Structure 1
Amino acid sequence: MKEAQYWQREGEKIRCQLCPHYCLVADGQKGRCGVRENRGGKLYALNYGQIGALALDPVEKKPLFRFKPGSMILSVGTTGCNLDCAFCQNWELVSGRGGREEISPEELVALAENYRPVGNIGLAYTYSEPLMWFEFVLATAKLARGKGLANVLVSNGYINEAPWRELLPWLDAANIDIKGEKEFYRKLCKARPEPVWRAVELAVEAGVHVEITCLLVTDENDSPEQIEALARRLADLSSKIPLHLSRYFPRRSLTAPPTPLERMYEAQAIASRYLKYVYLGNLP
């Protein structure tokens, strides 16, 4: 646990300013992410230094297909998320189920260095929502950069501009989820898309290598019109931004059938009219 950044007092409560929810948190209560708590008039990051998942992965698994392909990357995750996606693939980890271990930024960077002989290029902050691990990710990323290690973020991109600008100089690559249009975010994620698009824009402007993932959920965000709108907007930033279209399978509380294969192939064809690199994921 560590005192959090980006908050201010409002009377007897605290206004968290890390993400666009701007949670107003009473003493003894947590924000929507479940990992930032008001304790005695200060906001604390409860998940600081807590690791719930750790693995040495191919960088393509993040997925990053055009950032140091063929490399391995030490991938770490904690608990907590500021979205509430009905189809969440990692909801057990996000909710804090399972064991957790304590580690310091210095220990994690040293561990990443130990894996260099087997092709490790750095650290990927992933699995849950690393932006809700902001203080730990920032401290670790600074140390990793000093050791010549790459920093990769796999994120929903739902963060306010000030903390995002503070983190961006320490990132080498990011895969950011763009989940759908306004109604999709409202209905299935309890959030809004525009902060995510702003995060993507700022990352591109900062020179971070950006790839985008969109999970195509059956009959929710997989129409030709929605795919075209997504691809066109990305192309307005750069036609060279890789787009990963992933196939949905029933998970957590969403029971819609898996995305039909023909829709996946159609979506790839549509997006490829605007973007140079369009990949399909979660296919047999």
Structure 2
Amino acid sequence: MADLIIIVYIIIFISIICSSYVAIKLFKNKINYLIGILSVATALIELVVLSSVIWINDFEKLVPRKFCIFQGIALQYCAYLQIISALCFSIHLYQLLVRQKERNSQTLHKAYIFAIVIIPIIMTIIVSIESIQYDAIQPFKIACDIKNPQWVKLIGYPGFNLIGTIIGAYFSIRAVFKVFRHLDQFKSQMTDTSKIAANKSKPTGDVNEEGVTNEIAEETGVKKDFIRKIRKSYNMTKAAAIRMVLFSFGLTLINTLASVHTVLLFIKGGEDKTTGLRTADFAVAFTGIIIYVIFGLPSLFRKRS
């Protein structure tokens, strides 16, 4: 178990680097600030958990009580911030692609910022009051978190994030369907344009007339440029669609892993008696790496191509 804990800490450290890289890159280029905030929140969650390494020999027995409470509350806030920024990103894609809203709509962006700032604070205050009142925050294997009662835990990130994930998945799926419809349109347009260009390239009548031949060549060249532009748009749209699918799947997988144990215990009316590493620990460890794979690697590939 000790070796596995060390490996998890190493993965968390790598994950912090990955999520921090994505955040810095996005903020530096002034693009996709919602994913930038998501990356920051992810890095903070992982950093909060990594701080437990100080008591790596026996965290559950050695961790100070005040630090344990602080860490448990900090985890809730960062998790709220993470899911709200992810949900805003899913809604933003839906507004752009399905409802055809403007990318720079000030009303939408103000709503996103309001939600990102206010909702995590309100939820953290609520869960902090209940956690302290019921002494719900207890040490697990590598971090302090809400343990019992389960209804308090559902107010925390396991319940809140799962609901946010379901809502975000709905908006993401709607947006993805819209993008794939665009891809079908691009394909049809490329096929039709290619056929027209092929027909134009076949001279009719007197092929010895140099002027007609030159005109056909020029027109064919224009068509080929147009086809190249359509193909470029198609490839960019396809890459965006793939990232959207990966984002939706990754977000759903991570939050399901972090929440399913709590939901099942709540349904059964049982108590959390976990003694080893939890699925939530592995979810935290790999989130930053997943964000990097989805939003970091594509930009690296574009640079090298």
Higher share of residues assigned strand? 1
What is the TM-score of this pair, normalised by structure 2?
A: 0.22
What is the TM-score of this pair, normalised by structure 1?
A: 0.23
The structure with the largest alpha-carbon Rg is 2
Larger relative CO (CA 8 A, sep 6+): 1 or 2?
2
Higher share of residues assigned helix? 2
